[in-house]
Amino acid sequence: MMNLWYSLVNIVLPFQWVEFTFMKNALLAILLITPLFGLLGTMIVNNKMAFFSDALGHGAFTGIAIGALIGLVKPVLAAIVFSVVFALIITVIKNKSRASTDTIIGVFSSIAIAFGLVLLSLGGSFNKYSSYLIGDLLSITPSEILLLLVVFIIIVILWVLIFNKLLLVSINQSLARSRGVKTLLVEMIFTSIVAVIVTISIQWVGLLIINSLLVLPAAGARNITTNVRQYTLVAIIIAVFSGICGLIASYYLNTATGATIVLVSGIVFFLTLAFKNKFA
């Protein structure tokens, strides 16, 4: 499959930057992962969950620390399990508690990142895992791309199955319950999906900016769209556009790929904001 991809890219994109295998791998990863960021970001922005998705990044970091502590060479599996459990606990407590949602998320987020840093610093081994803070998309391997492909297919299928219910829950939970929607279950499925994509991506994007990739494309799309279909489509387009442009720019500027993608997303956001203000 990868050989077919390499041949196709060489034919379609006869540019200098695609001569390198690691750039071809990174491009394919971006085409798989950025649509998911755009898709999930629409609900995150709609439901004012930016702080929550940031907390999931902290939970993923702690999961990586636990995986490293028990001796896993690739601690991503442990991170996924921990991050999903972390997301489910926050979701349940948020729905059952009378405390402020921001407070609950803030408490869990603070504890998670502190616990992860403590675990990774045991024995002075923190530097070995500090790359997770920044990420390195150019280091992605074909086997990891296959994992991304599987995750992409699963998330798209789940999204098709729960989208209408999730949209109803985001608009009015009481109305959703009256229609027989199990709101807590729907929220748990959604937060688990976000937890998985955040955890898998953190090693290539980095903890420090993972939340930005979820929020900025959707926030930009919201500025210039008038219905849900447009909103979703434009968010995906912005996410993919930012990913490709950020990858190419990072190659020529010799900058961190994830951070460069975020900067492109930020520029697009301000352009859409200016467009919105001009025609408001």
The token duo for 60 is 């993923």
77 within 8 A of 87, measured Cβ to Cβ: no
Residue 98 has what pLDDT?
Answer: 73
26 within 8 A of 138, measured Cβ to Cβ: yes
pLDDT of residue 123 exceeding 80: no
Distance in angstroms (rounded) separating the CA atoms of residues 270 and 229: 22
Distance in angstroms (rounded) separating the CA atoms of residues 39 and 171: 17
Distance in angstroms (rounded) separating the CA atoms of residues 12 and 27: 13
Distance in angstroms (rounded) separating the CA atoms of residues 186 and 262: 29
- Segments forming the whole domain that contains residue 201: 2-279
Q: In one letter, which amino acid is 209?
A: I
Radius of gyration of the chain (CA): 19
* 213-223 tens-digit pLDDT: 889 999 999 99
109-118 burial, b at 16+ Cβ within 10 Å, e below that, comes to beebbebbee
Distance in angstroms (rounded) separating the CA atoms of residues 112 and 105: 10
What are the CA-CA distances from residue 277 to residues 48, 223, 244 (Å)?
21, 9, 27
129 band by pLDDT with thresholds 50, 70 and 90:
low
212 within 8 A of 222, measured Cβ to Cβ: no
Percent of the chain with pLDDT strictly greater than 90: 31
Mean pLDDT of 238-243: 95
43 within 8 A of 190, measured Cβ to Cβ: yes
* 265-279 tens-digit pLDDT: 999 999 999 988 776
Residue 125 has what pLDDT?
Answer: 61
Nearest to 225 by CA among 62, 96, 47, 46: 46
Q: Which of 67-71, 138-142, 166-170 has the lowest mean pLDDT?
A: 67-71
Q: What is the mean pLDDT of the chain?
A: 86
pLDDT of residue 68 exceeding 80: no
* 82-116 tens-digit pLDDT: 889 888 988 888 877 776 777 888 888 888 888 88
Domain with 19 in it: what CATH number?
A: 1.10.3470.10
Residue 124 has what pLDDT?
Answer: 58
Distance in angstroms (rounded) separating the CA atoms of residues 41 and 278: 25
pLDDT of residue 77 exceeding 70: yes
- Map residue 276 onto helix, strand or coil: helix
Question: What is the total count of domains within the chain?
Answer: 1
Which residues, at least 6 apart from 224, have a Cβ–Cβ distance to it below 8 Å?
Answer: 234, 272, 275, 276
